[in-house]
Amino acid sequence: MTYKNHFLYKKLKCKVKDKKGAMALEIVIGIFTFIIVLCFLVDLLMLSWKFAVISSTNSYVARTAGIQGGILATAPDGFPGGNTAYISTNEMRNKLNDNFKSAGIESGKYSVKVNGKTVSSGASTGEVDYRQPVTTEINVTYKWDLMSNFVPGDLTQTMTSTRSSMSEFKYRYDTWVGE
């Protein structure tokens, strides 16, 4: 070992034995850990808020689809109140966009299905006759926004909310027009 290397070795050994700076290192690690935990809790709080909005919206969709016997582009013949009382697929889509926008969910990040058929503008989910089951499902893609800054990889996942109800509307397939 040369004199120069021996000198550096002694200096390094002395620095390791010296406890100066250890507290600063502990503080930095502690602050970093605190920030990660705080980001996790904020993300968890935001996700719980989003799921509460998704859950209540899905309850609304299930209740509406059950009362109306599905969600169609226009009110079926004989529906009490006609088109003014009926929530069409376009109106439902607008209500879904408004509800999800309040929770920060963009329009391309979710899908809504009634009995397996997607609710979209102008397309009906099909008629569900009296006392038949109606199943609604909402899938939302989300990302852990703050935690993705610390954890490498794709932190995108999907939340799913499912509701079941029963159709309350009797479709008349004869010449009866209704009220």
Q: What is the pLDDT of residues 128-140, one digit of tens each?
A: 888 889 999 999 9
In a 3-state reduction of DSSP, which class is residue 127?
A: coil
Per-residue pLDDT tens digits for 69-104: 888 888 887 788 888 888 988 899 999 999 999 888
Please state, in angstroms and rounded to a whole number, the distance separating the CA atoms of residues 102 and 52.
Answer: 12
User: Which tokens in the block code for residue 45?
Assistant: 């709080």
pLDDT confidence bin for 176, thresholds 50/70/90: low
Q: Is the pLDDT of residue 4 over 70?
A: no
- pTM for this prediction: 0.77
- pLDDT value for 9: 72
Would the pLDDT of 31 be above 70? yes
* Better-scored residue on pLDDT, 138 or 118: 138
The pLDDT of residue 26: 83
- Max CA separation in the chain (angstroms): 108
First to last CA, the chain: 104
